[in-house]
Structure 1
């Protein structure tokens, strides 16, 4: 388990702030026990920030027939929907909601070439809101595998998340399990699959990125 590079600056700032705020609170007149409570809360907050940016090491053996979860979290949607941005037709959507306590690294669910990538500024509705997929700040990535099957992955910012980081670029070749991005502080990832994909997860199931099989194609 390591610390993700997206957290280096934030952790440094939090550490400096902790070093400044802790002695300052000691100058405020209050009972000694209350000082300990405040210091304890500050330390817990710092530990939580460090934990948020954890980056687990997980091994993947690429399999073209499987679609792996792109994120840690909980399945909040499995449905047939019209995807208007790229496919402009019906697809099978599987959505993974990441709480602030989940790992927030995003991984490629399949291997292939990135044939489409676009960032969309937008709103910050709660990530489980039905319209968050088309109205929130988001990044759309489409990966085409060796068989010509296209899988769309959409990173969606939530009410707390205000910054989506995407590493995928059009023309890049990526392997199943490669990092494709990071979303800060609570969010969601949607995966759009062909209608004949066989779903292997259920609603409210907890999933692990790079490990849980979402579907077979």
Structure 2
């Protein structure tokens, strides 16, 4: 799944897009202009599942953003998944952002951990520990640990992850998807140098979050 030919529109949304446009077309045929709200909903569904190709920066030490969105956290904290002190950088995705998730570094997936949980607003700090989430612990090519956590949000009800322990990932490679508003947390070694600040708008693969 993660390496399927790039269709511009994410495969995870094909079913929803088809259903929404078929229903809208039927209503249009029956009731004409009264179908306008359904057309707006169908266009929203279409834009939500867009998945444009991205260009990977040349810097081999760069940690790339795993998602599109806005930086809501840059802080030193404890990484409960990797059991270490770490630099945490969080990206909040609203319903208008691309929701395809991509690997922040070149490396090997050491483990994948899924945690059921709540669905509070992903913009809140407590979402990192209380919401449904899926954590990837990756050993980068330089041997350093990078933890990448997909976090469900208030509306999101489905985290999709297509990699397993032992698999290799390349920077910018697609590894998962979260349906509707959500968040991705990245935990890095304390020696990493952040390149973003809270409030910055970032793009998956193309924005450098930090340097190892």
TM range (shorter): over 0.9
2:76 match = 80
Deviation at 1:61, TM superposition (A): 4.9
Gaps of 5+ in 1: 27-34
Gaps of 5+ in 2: 1-6
Say if 2:67 is the partner of 1:71.
yes
Asked if the contact 2:82/2:137 (under 8 Å) is kept, the reply is: no
Q: Supply the distance in 1 between the matched residues of 2:49 and 2:187 (Cα, whole angstroms).
A: 27
Deviation at 1:23, TM superposition (A): 4.3
1:193 match = 188
Q: Secondary structure at the match of 1:100?
A: coil
1:19 to 25, 34, 50: 25
1:112 match = 107
C-alpha RMSD of the superposition? 1.4
1:5 match = 11
2:35 match = 39
**Deviations 1:153-200 (CA, angstroms, capped at 9, x unpaired):** 000000010001111211001100000110001100000000110000
1:178 match = 173
2:4 match = none
Higher-Rg member (1/2): 1
Moved more, 198-207 or 10-19: 10-19
1:103 match = 98
1:161 to 150, 156, 165: 156
Asked if the contact 2:72/2:92 (under 8 Å) is kept, the reply is: yes
**Are the structure 2 counterparts of residues 60 and 48 from structure 1 closer, same or farther at C-alpha, using a change threshold of 3 Å?**
same
Q: Secondary structure at the match of 1:75?
A: strand
Q: Supply the distance in 2 between the matched residues of 1:92 and 1:81 (Cα, whole angstroms).
A: 6
Q: Supply the distance in 1 between the matched residues of 2:192 and 2:108 (Cα, whole angstroms).
A: 20
Q: Supply the distance in 2 between the matched residues of 1:46 and 1:87 (Cα, whole angstroms).
A: 41
